[in-house]
Every structure is written in C-alpha cells, then in structure tokens.
Amino acid sequence: MPDADSARATAREAIALLTGAAGFTEHRSPPRPLPPDGPLGWAGYDAARERASARTGEEESVVYGTGVVGDRACVLLSFEFGFLGGSLGRNTGDRLAAAYELALTRRLPLLALVATGGSRMQEGMVALAQLQRVAAASTRLRAAGLPQIAVVRDPTTGGGWATVGAGADVVLALPGAQVGFAGSRVRPPDADPYAYSAEGQFAAGQVDAVVPADALAATVTQWLRALGPHEDLPAAPVPRALPTAGAEPTAGAGTGSAAGVGTAAGAGTGSAAGGGAVAPLPGTGREAVARARDPRRPRAEAYLADYFAVRLPLHGDRSGATDPGLLCGLGLRADGQPVAYVAQCGTPTRPAGYRAAARTIRLADRLGVPVLTLVDTPGAANDAEAERAGAGAAIADTFAAVAAARVPVTTLVIGEGGSGGALALAAPENTHVTVDSYFSVIAPEPAAAILKRPPSETGATADQLRLRPQDLVDLGFALSIVG
C-alpha cells in the first residue's frame, strides 16, 4: 500500500493490505443501467464515468466481497477514490446495500475501507437518498448482532463519513487522513484544518484509534477476534487481587476469582480465592477511606494490564468529548475470551466518561460480550462545566445501560466508591470489592458538611457510614472481598 504521503491507495490495494495472501473474493450486485447521463441528464456524466473507469479499472466507486483478515472471515467493502472521488451514486448504493446484505446472510462482520467525498452531485437527490439505504442496511446488521468496523482513509468526508464511517461500531483512521462531514471545498475559509483530520477527530472522541498502515492488519485482526460474532460467552471472571506497591503479593492471588466474605463489622481479616493469608481488612471507616486514597494502591491501569493479554480501546463519547479518567474498550484474555471493560481511574468521572461507558456496555450487549467494570472514583464531576455537559443525563444513561444489559456484568471496586457516580457502573448482585476500597452513599467530607459537623468529625462520620469492604458484604451490596 502506498504511503499516505506519496499516493492514495486504490480500493484493491487497501483490501490487499488487510487480506494479504489469504485473498479476496469479489462479489458484484446485478447491474442496473442508468438513463443517458444519469437520472438528472447531467451533460457529460456518461463521459466522466467512462474516463473514471478507464483510469481506475473499476466500474463503480465501491468494490466488495468476502475475505480473511488474519484468521477471521469477514465481508469487506472498499471505496475507490479515483472513481469520481469515491462518491456515492445509485449503483454505489446498490453495491453497499449488497455488501451489508452479504454480511447479514453469512453472519459475518463488515469491514469498510472508506475513502469518499460524499454523495455524487451529478445524480442529485437520487445519490443523496443512498445514505438512507446505507443507514437502513447498517441498522439491520446491528439488530442481528453483527459488528461493523470502519477504516477511514484519506479523504473521508460528507455522507460517506456520516454513514459508513462514523456509523460503524469501531472507527479506525489512517494517520493524516482528512476526516469530517465538511469537505475541504465547503467548510468555512478560516476553519481549523486539525478539526478535519484523523488526529483531530481522535482528540474529539470521534475516532477510536489512529493506526499506521503497517499495523492495520494486526489491529483489525484483534478487533475481529474481540467483536465476534460470539455465542454464549461466560461472565467475566473477577480480577485477582493486586498488592499495594511495596507490599508482599497476597497468597492465593492469580486465580481470577474470589470467595465470598461475610466477616462481621470490625473484624480484621478476610479471605480470598485460593485460601492463605491475605491483606488485613480495615478496622475503621476512616482507615478504609485512607487506604482507598493511598497513591501506592494499584489503579485501573494495573488491573487491566494484569487481566488482559490484548486491549483494544474505545475512545470518546461520539459527542465531541473524552474523559481520560475513564478507560473503555474490549480486551482478549490469555485464553482468548473477549471481555468489554469500563474502568474508572480514581478521578471524578465526567459526562463524556459516562457516555463512553454507556456506549461500550451497549455495544458489548449487542454483540454478546461480557462486561467488566472497575469502580474507582470519589464521585461524578460536579463543576459547572460538567453540569453544562449534561452530567445528570449521562449518569442516568449509564445506569440504564447496565440495567438493560442482557450479557453478564461483573464489577470490582478497586478504590473509592463515591456515591451515584460510582454506583452507575456497579453491577447489581455481582459486585465485588478489594480490601483497599470503600463504597458510600457519599464521601465522608461532604457527608459531615451536609450534617453540619465540624471537619474534626469526618473520621467518625466515615465510621458511621459503614463503608468498609466487610460492611459492604454484610449489607448485601458486595458478594465478596478480593484480597
């Protein structure tokens, strides 16, 4: 495949980059002859099509068929930008609809390699209406539980970006690609070009990853393995306990599961899967809070690195924002089992984080992939900007996504469980806690303030809230204490 800096790849070069020696079997939809110079009688349109065909060797702006990427069969469709700018006309719509139908009939994932300037002006509204056909075909594929991946090449603009590209479950982009709804000739003259680039769209949470061409085949292969389709996957195992920095590893760690603990409040020992000595449980509420806030405590990144062999991030809320304090994506465990993950990183979670979480959970649910959530936040972000960004609605949507999930959701509280901002990610009846965590209706400091108590009584308030790991088990909120 040519470098992005030297030349645009053709449709078939883009396919070959991914399928390699495995090959590609082209399919063709039955041709439908157009009226002379197309549906609008646009003077010179037939001649333009003939020149495009002679130049590219293609009959239309899209090539589609079946192929194998890595070890995964899929339906591929690829745009030929050299054919009238990869634009969508009626016959393009026929090919796109046929590609989606092929994926639906064979129950295969759809991989779109997009490079288009949008709808074909010479066919007017007939061309524009093809976007509705694509949207309908994509919706049928979603309803069938089949994944869609888009690789956006240079350029991807207009209706092609707004349907085949941005409408996919996972959006990958090649470095330096022009990506945006507005093409270069129709955007404001003073518009920031970065906003219309792959990198700019990634920063805005519209693209999941910017992937170099030489890493694309391996990345897409991993995504196909994670997305499926799958049948009857088991629940995500509970992560094993990780030691605090400087502490000895917990005996029995590494089994990936935990046994329930019903220790009475005030006890100083617990148990974990595999038996053996474990880290002591906190004796007081204030100690539990201090341990959860200890900077040496393992965080989400450490748990995810220990849990997964491969991680594939989903980036952004698809509404123009990101939250670096919340990690989302799909991963593959050492045995190959896919699990979707949503992990708080110990910071106040912002509305974009909740929207990204809801997006991830709904995608996993549609594809039959179990979900793991790691809870660790002092609470939802409560600044004015968070309110303007719709904090309440975003949290509500996350609660709804967890409540509606048909796949099993497993939760491990690894640090702070601060009120509803943490609870939104907790699985009802399948939440587990670590020995260095707490969960509370509200953090002790604001609780004392609400109760009009002096700061000196914050510790006593923490004790009164019964927020320790063993309290959470006794209260029936948590199933087990891990480590």
Tell me the pLDDT of the chain (483 aa) as tens digits: 334 333 589 999 999 999 987 789 999 988 889 999 999 999 999 999 999 999 999 999 999 999 999 999 999 999 999 999 999 999 999 999 999 999 999 999 999 999 999 999 999 999 999 999 999 999 999 999 999 999 999 999 999 999 999 999 999 999 999 999 988 888 898 899 999 999 999 999 999 999 999 999 999 999 999 999 998 999 999 999 998 876 544 333 333 333 332 332 333 333 333 333 457 999 999 999 999 999 999 999 999 999 999 999 999 999 999 999 999 999 999 999 999 999 999 999 999 999 999 999 999 999 999 999 999 999 999 999 999 999 999 999 999 999 999 999 999 999 999 999 999 999 999 999 999 999 999 989 999 999 999 999 999 999 999 999 999 999 999 999 998
At 25 the three-state DSSP class reads: strand
pLDDT of residue 247: 56
The H-or-E segment that residue 235 falls in is none
Q: How remote is the C-alpha of 203 from its chain's centroid?
A: 15
Q: Which amino acid is at 256?
A: G
- Dihedral angle at the C-alpha atoms of 56, 58, 64, 67, nearest 10 degrees? -60
How far is the C-alpha of 398 from the C-alpha of 385, rounded, in Å? Answer: 19
Q: Interior CA angle at 343 toward 480 and 201, to 5°?
A: 165
CA distances from 101 to 66, 88, 108, 110, 146 (A): 12, 18, 10, 10, 11
pLDDT of residue 185: 84
How far is the C-alpha of 44 from the C-alpha of 301, rounded, in Å? Answer: 59
Give backbone dihedrals phi and psi of 238, rounded to 5 degrees, phi first.
Answer: -70, 130
Residue keyed to tokens 């350029």 = 155
Q: Cis peptide before 188, with omega less than 30 degrees from 0?
A: no
First CA to last CA across the chain, in angstroms? 50
Dump strand ranges (E) for 301-353: 310-314, 326-332, 338-344
Question: By the 8 A CB rule, do 434 and 482 touch?
Answer: yes
pTM of the prediction? 0.90
How far is the C-alpha of 143 from the C-alpha of 371, rounded, in Å? Answer: 19
pLDDT of residue 8: 85
| Nearest Cα residue to 281 out of 263, 296, 295, 255 | 263
CA distances from 175 to 40, 167, 178 (A): 37, 20, 9
How far is the C-alpha of 483 from the C-alpha of 481, rounded, in Å? Answer: 6
pLDDT of residue 31: 83
**Number of neighbours of residue 398 by Cβ within 10 angstroms:** 29
For residue 215, give every residue at least 6 positions away whose Cβ sits within 8 Å of its Cβ, in sequence order, or none. none
Name the pairing type of β-strands 62-69 and 72-79.
Answer: antiparallel
Name the pairing type of β-strands 310-314 and 326-332.
Answer: antiparallel
| Nearest Cα residue to 116 out of 184, 170, 61 | 61
